[in-house]
Every structure is written in structure tokens, then in C-alpha cells.
Chain A
Amino acid sequence: MIDSENGVTAFKLYTSLYNDYGLPTVYDFVSRFRSGEMPIGLATYSQFNTLSVSAPEIRNLWDFAPFPGTVKADGTVDNSVHCGGVCCMMIATDDENVKNNSWEFLKWWVSTETQVRFGREIESVLGSSARYTTANTEALKQLAWSGDQLKVLEEQMAKTVGFREIAGGYSTTRHMTNAIRRVINNKEDARETLLTYARTINEEIKVKRREFNLPLYE
């Protein structure tokens, strides 16, 4: 999928931001935001925690808004983002009792009230630096976000796309990073680099899928 035409265009756009427009590649967002050198930035909303605690001198002078996007054919803005997340996993065993208990435990842990309670208690102990980034959308509404911030978060969450994890998925991120760095460092052609690395990624995924006897399609 990376080596489709859309993928190549997206990759070209991304690397041209660094190569043609000279955006800094390595930077510490919090420090530069505080000093005013970067008045606007794209970051995950957990940076809110860091900024609210480590930058008290700019309190109430900054806020966050939905992601900038590209204009689609019908005029609306497509600002979908991807998100990462943490999962809970149950390992299958033969013991029915253990299975039921672990399922009940997981149901309890991800339920709204538990998440809200956890988020509120951790924020009351550690302050607003520990605002819990919960995945439970109902619980998010009940945490200590203000009305405007909540509207922004909900609007962005509606447009969020998650990536499916597959066997060998680590290979995608790893080689994409390699591809990006190669284009930035050596100023090579974006399309060629992407297609070369796409082949490497596909090979590793194939090896892993064969190991676990998952179906391969060419």
C-alpha cells in the first residue's frame, strides 16, 4: 500500500517539507515553543501535559486547534490523523475460570467509570501534567478539559484513523524512518527510495507471516 501512487505522492510531500522548505528535522518542541521561535507546531495532545507544567510563563497565551489538512475535491478539508495507542492483551489458556476472570477484569478496567476515576485521581495527585490520555471517549468527556478544548478534541477524534498492527509491523515504521532519513540526508529521489524500502518491508512482513502461518497474498 505504501508503494501505491498516493503513497508516493504523500512521501514526496513529506520529504519536500524538509528538503525544499528547510523545516528543522530534530528539534525540541517544548523549548522552541516557549521561547517563541516556533509559534505554531504539530504535536500529540499529550504535549499539553508537558507544556502546561514546564511553561508556566506562557500560561493562557496558547491553545490548540484541529490539525491542518489538505483540501479535498469537494472543498472540505481532510484533516485525518493517525494515532497510536496502548492495548491490553489476554493470553488464551484452557482454564475457563481464568479466562472469565481476565475478561471481567478487562471489562472493568476499560469501563468509563474506572477510566474517569483513574484519570481524576492521577491528576489530583500529580497536577495537570498528568492529564490522562484515555482512549475511552466517554471518559475523555468527563476529565478536566474545558468546554472549548473538549470540542476541538472531539472533532479531531472523529477524524482519527488507526493503523492495523500486523505481524512484522515493526518493519514498516523502521524502514519508513530509514527511507525518510535517507532522502533528507542524501537528497536522493523520493520515489526510488520509497519503492526500494517498500520491497524490504514487504519481505520482512512475508517472513513473519510465514512464521505464524498467516495467509500471504502477493
Chain B
Amino acid sequence: MSQRELFDLIFLPGFSTKDKASDLSGRGVGMDVVKTNIKKLNGLIEIKSEKGKGSEFILRLPLTLAIIQSLLVDVEGEVYSIPLSSVLESLKVDQRQFHLIGNREILKLRDMVLPLVRLERVFGVERREELNDFCYVVVVGTVEKRIGLVVTRLVGQQEVAIKSLGRYLADIPGIAGSTILGDGRVALIIDPVSLIEEGDGAGR
């Protein structure tokens, strides 16, 4: 048995180097839990150890798994996260520049006619602030299909870790997942693609 295989023994469930288990430890559970959880994240754990000197535990976890760059926006006091990969630009606009075509709001942006989606309306956010002339429009989409998401203000750019909402909340329209902000609050991640498709049909 090579040294590496020997070290790997401590990951086996029920394997303990202690003769007696205490209240807290010694049952051979801990390292098995560590290994299983790292495996779940597609990571690696490696042990280096030298007798009398000490041990080194090297954990390798993939970064790309669930971390994305995102633009945090404020919609009437609620914070949402828009994946930066689909954001083309953002601008501050006077709402009086909005035009109505049928019952749908649009914005003339350079040589483009940009359909607008008011996030507070799609997501049913209660209006908390005074009606403000100025708002921000975040242009999302691809070259051929773009929409403008109307938000109250921009919060900033941030790397966020995607957390699944679970099966029970999997089918919320316009929402791709969630993330936890620095202050511990949960912010929902917007799925721009589904908003573009939705924006096509319904005149929101």
C-alpha cells in the first residue's frame, strides 16, 4: 500500500485512529463528511504529511462552478442581480423620454427602438418611493434582440455565487436562481432570456 493510499484511509467512514471515542470526535465520521462534500462540489482533497513535522491538507475547489459577475440593481427597495454576461449597457433616463406604442413602453436609443420591461411590474414590487422622473435602464440581450429593464437605481457590479432555489421554487418566471449578499440578505438572480421572450408576447 503506497503512502498516499494509507493517507486516504482516513476518509473512509468509520475509520478512526483513536482507541476511544469522545463526546465530540473519534468515531471516524468527520473526514468522510469532508470528502463527500468536496466531491459534491467537484473538488479535490490531498494530504501531505511527514512524521513529526505536521500535515498539510490541500483543498481544490472549482471557481467557475457557481460564481458569476453580476450587476446588482435596486427595484423599489428590493435588490436583484442581473448576470453581467447579458448586460450590454446601462443608462440613466428621464421617464418623460419613454414613448408608448400600443400599451407598451419603448425608448428611442440612438438608432434603436428598445422595448422596455418594468421590473417592478413584472415582479409585482410594491411602490415604496415617490414617483421619480429619473430611472435607470439596463439594456440586456443579444445583438438581434434587446430589451431595456427599467430599475430604480444601480447598486453596482459584484461577483456572486449562484444558489439554487430548489425544486419547489424552480419555475418562477424571470428568475434563474438566488445569491447571498454580503449582509446576509438573499437577492434573486434575474433570467434575462426568459424576460426577453416574455417581453415579446405580453405587452407588459
A binds B: no
Q: What residues make up the interface of B, taking CB atoms closer than 8 Å to A?
A: none
Q: What residues make up the interface of A, taking CB atoms closer than 8 Å to B?
A: none
